[in-house]
Amino acid sequence: MTQPSPSFFKAVLAIARKDLAAEFRSRELLSAMLVFSMLVILIFNFALELNVDIRRTVTAGVLWTTFAFAGTLGLNRSMAVEKDRGCMDGLLLAPVDRSVIFFGKAISNLVFMLVVEAIVIPLYAMLYNETRIFQLEFIGVLLLGSIGYIAVGTLLSAMSVQTRTRDVLLPILLFPVAVPVLLASVKASGAIVAGLPFKDYVTPLNLLIVYDVIFIAVSYMIFDFVVEE
Amino acid sequence: MQQKPILLTILDVLSIIGLGAATYFALVFAPTEAVMGNVQRVFYFHVGTAWVGLIGFVLAALAGIVYLITKDAKWDRFEVAAVEVSAMFFFITIVLGSIWARPAWNTWWTWDPRLTTAAVTELVYIAYFMLRAGIEDPEKRARFGAVYALLGGLSAPITFMVIRLFRTIHPVVVGNGNPEAQGGFDMTGSMLTAMFVALGAFTVFFINLMWHRIRLGALEEKVEQIKLKVSM
Amino acid sequence: METINTDNYMIAGFIVSFVTIGIYLLSMYVRARNLKRDLETYEALDSPDKK
């Protein structure tokens, strides 16, 4: 593997910028993710009867479930577009390290997910008068969780688009492997919303960081094997 | 198909004897547990199958790494065998645990770290086979399988640690006890003997099944190759 | 302390264990048999072409 150089980062950013530019022109992916998120929250509202007492304990869970589902939608679409338009072949022919593609796609996927979160969270806060989610710690956990989720998700979506059952396969592949991210995030952000002190959620936070580091490193190392022709 | 090696036949016989012995030790040799009664006797098989299930899971992840480095199809066959055999054993572990939990905890299931991790692992296995089933090219199938086995192997220990944050009632029979555990018991000498017999028997049986499954994999590959040749 | 009668659970446990193992062994046997049959068919198809 080559040593990361300035051109490495430039190439990563170029790929991410290409995706973002395409998306901000068509907005089809983001709008799908957003509408979907709102629908999930609407369903949760009636399924769980989100009154004040219940909300105190389930806010973190509802938000994370919503983001996980919306995330698979985005991951699937963003990789399928590359594959269908033949962009992937073009990218693979480019004289750059394969991991550049991984980081480029991961960054654009992460941006999509963060944009959705940035819209859904204020909406949730407004709908339920839940201002406790506007805490720096909460945002931090959200960021760490999204990074881990997107790192594995980008790798797995690159695999699932190459299979026969591609659209249905991604969540089935992703959820069992992403269980630690989702549970640790729910645990940590739930504690933050409940107003517990730092020492009560430092363990899930550490596990979240461990997961992020391990899975970014591993995805970086094995992405080559996933896109190889 | 090449001739069945003599060692494999010996292993077959050993497995039957071992399983027979483990059953005897669990049902007859071990004393009846004072509180739980006879259901405690499934514990020996529970531990035995959990042990080989875990070994198979670790072996699958390692085989995945070796395959990605060497690209040698025999490691792919090894990996598939490990996943499949270990999935079967984990299934037994979960069902036996559930059968034991019903009288002990008064519930078939609880979201305890071990139970949940075992269930998530079983889902990883199912996803693994669904992934492989969706790919036609054998080389790509092996490559993706290896990647997924590796990811599953890495995430399982973290899953376990995360779920441990939520409280548990699973007893720790060997090693330090959990003060909140329910349904634990002190093992007497003959219970330990029965447990080690079960562990030994299931280890032999596991190796035996792995070997058979690897041979089956080799046969599958041979058929696939000749099919390709004929259709051309 | 009173010992609970849990014999039925024990019997169920051992039945499940052996049935699961039995089904797995059977599935391996069936798969091997089908593959061997396929192999013979393809070999028969293959040999005349070669000559």
* A202-227 and A166-193 helices, crossing angle to 10°: 160
Other beta carbons within 10 Å of C11: 15
Distance from CA of A225 to the nearest CA of B (A): 7
Q: List chain A domain ranges.
A: 6-227
Q: How far apart are CA A193 and CA A142, in angstroms?
A: 12
How far apart are the CA of C38 and the nearest CA of chain B, in angstroms?
A: 7
Per-residue confidence (pLDDT) for residue B167, from 0 to 100: 58
- Residue type at B14 in one-letter notation: L
For tokens 């051309």, what's the residue?
B232
Give the gap in angstroms from C-alpha C16 to the nearest C-alpha of chain B.
7
- B173 at the C interface (CB within 8 A)? no
Residues in Cβ contact with B161 at an 8 Å cutoff, skipping those fewer than 6 apart: A180, A207
Q: What is the model's pLDDT at position A170?
A: 92
C-alpha C27/C-alpha C23 separation (Å) is: 6
Using CB atoms within 10 Å of the CB of residue B104, give its burial: 0 to 12 exposed, 13 to 18 middle, 19+ buried: buried
Q: State pLDDT tens for residues B114-150.
A: 888 888 889 999 999 999 998 988 888 999 999 999 9
For residue B121, which residues of chain A lie inside 8 Å, CB to CB?
Answer: 176
What chain B residue is nearest to A200 in terms of C-alpha separation? B165
Give the CA distances from residue B152 to residues B54, B147, C15, in Å, rounded to whole numbers and listed in that order: 12, 9, 30
Residue B175: predicted pLDDT: 46
Percent of chain C with pLDDT over 90: 31
Q: What is the pLDDT of residue C51?
A: 46
Cα A67 from Cα B149, distance rounded (Å): 25
Q: Which residue of A has its CA nearest to B163?
A: A183
Calculate the average pLDDT of chain C: 83
8 Å CB contact between B165 and A205:
no
Give the distance from CA A110 to its chain's centroid: 5
Residue C50 has pLDDT above 60, yes or no: no
Q: Taking 50 as the threshold, does the pLDDT of residue A49 lie above it?
A: yes
Q: Does C44 touch chain B (CB under 8 A)?
A: no
User: For residue A226, what pLDDT is reported?
Assistant: 86
Of A124, A182, A172, A120, give the one whose Cα is nearest residue A150.
A182
B37, B49, B220 ranked by CB distance to C3: nearest: B37
The b/e string for B39-75 (b: 16+ C-beta within 10 A; e otherwise) is: bbbbbbbbbbbbbbbbbbbebbbbbbbbbbeeeeeeb
Query: What pLDDT does residue A14 have?
Result: 85
- How does DSSP assign A166-181, residue by residue? HHHHHHHHHHHHHHHH
Q: In this complex, do B45 and C13 lie within 8 Å of one another by their Cβ atoms?
A: yes
Select from C6, C24, C43 the Cβ nearest to the Cβ of B39. Answer: C6
Q: B120 to chain A: nearest residue by CA? A: A176
Q: CA–CA separation, B192 vs B187, rounded Å?
A: 6
pLDDT digits (tens, 9 = 90+) for C11-47: 888 888 899 999 999 999 999 999 999 888 888 887 7
Token pair 């004393």: residue: B31
Q: Is B37 helix (H, G, I), strand (E, B) or coil?
A: strand
Radius of gyration of chain C from its Cα atoms, rounded to whole angstroms: 23
ipTM: 0.86
pLDDT tens string A28-40: 888 889 999 999 9
φ, ψ for residue B37, nearest 5 deg = 80, -155
Span A168-189, average pLDDT: 90
Rounded to whole angstroms, how far apart are CA atoms A159 and A164? Answer: 11
Average pLDDT over residues A116-136: 85
CA distance C31 to chain B (A): 8
Q: Report how far residue A160's alpha carbon sits from residue B134's, in angstroms, rounded to the nearest whole number.
A: 9
pLDDT of residue C4: 67
Closest alpha carbon to B183 in B111, B106, B96, B116: B106
Element at A81 (helix H, strand E) = helix A52-84
Mean pLDDT of A123-143: 84
Supply the pLDDT for residue B226: 85
Torsion over CA: A43, A47, A50, A51 (sign): positive
Q: Is the pLDDT of residue A27 over 50?
A: yes
Q: Which of B88, B220, B223 sits opposite C20 (nearest CB)?
A: B88
Q: Which of B130, B147, B167 to mutate to test the interface with A (most CBs of A within 10 A)?
A: B147
Residue-wise pLDDT tens for chain B (232 aa)?
A: 457 788 888 888 888 888 888 888 777 777 777 667 777 788 888 888 989 998 999 999 999 999 999 988 899 999 999 999 999 999 999 998 888 888 877 788 877 778 888 888 899 999 999 999 989 888 889 999 999 999 998 888 888 888 777 655 566 554 444 545 555 666 667 788 888 888 888 999 999 999 999 999 999 888 888 888 887 7
- Total CB pairs under 8 A between chain A and B: 92
